[in-house]
Amino acid sequence: MKMNVAVIGLGSMGFGIAGAALRRGHRVWGADINPDQVARFQAEGGQTGALAAVAGTLDAVAVVVLNAAQTESVLFGDAGIVDQLKPGAVVLACATVPPAFARDMAARCADAGVLYLDAPISGGAAKAASGQLSIMASGLSATFAAARPLLDSIAETVFELGDAAGAGSAMKAVNQLLAGVHIATMAEALTFGMTQGVTPDKFVEVISKCAWHQLDAGKPRAAYCGRGLHAAEFGQYLAQRPWDCA
């Protein structure tokens, strides 16, 4: 089934999601506060024209923004999309937000006759672009059914975590907690190694052959060590990149 889809938020993840949906044959509109990103997506085959003009025809809207405040603004702000959607349209809320916030958004969407899938994403920009994300999702069975054609286009794995919003966001919080622990530990381990004369390159070489690295958690983080950053800079770099490590 081909859908009319809007992707709101064309950052590294949203742009990849929009492109993956486009390649699967959906008609996709992209929206972003940066007009250059919108123009770039349109140049790659995205639909042209104002989103407001077609909102009533949309089957699905993926909201791929930074946080809860931006999600709420997109959905219910001064130009909120929810009031413009047709009954039965589905919102995929992909940002990392508190579970209680997700439940509130689902209730408000339901009041407007719109379905809400609590659908935080993981995998990084490369997997977003290739349509191979992991999505930690929760919502009504009817919501999953409505979202399925889009989910199949953008995700390799969709974890169905319950029939109510909130569980998906709770699982993403668990994922982020584990990622944060590994980020902090990696920074401390690299710093210790450097104080003892172990260079970052050697750190990567050795760790990549040791037991700890056999855990998937270690693999993406060790790769950052070869970038030649000072230890303090490395720790700061990782702390600012939680989504890459999720």
* Euclidean distance between the first and the last CA atom of the chain, given in angstroms as a whole number: 30
- DSSP assignment of 112-153 equals TT-EEEE--EESHHHHHHHT-EEEEEB--HHHHHHHHHHHHH
How many Cα neighbours within 13 Å face the side chain of 236? 5
Contact 169, 99 (CB under 8 A): yes
172 is catalytic: yes
Q: Cβ neighbours of residue 242 under 8 Å, at least 6 residues apart? A: 176, 179, 180, 183
- Of 2, 172, 202, 219, the active-site residue reads 172
Q: What are phi and psi of 103, to 5 degrees?
A: -65, -40
CA dist list (Å): 243 to 89, 94, 143: 28, 12, 26
Q: Pairing state of beta strands 121-122 and 133-137?
A: antiparallel
Please identify every residue annotated as catalytic.
Answer: 172
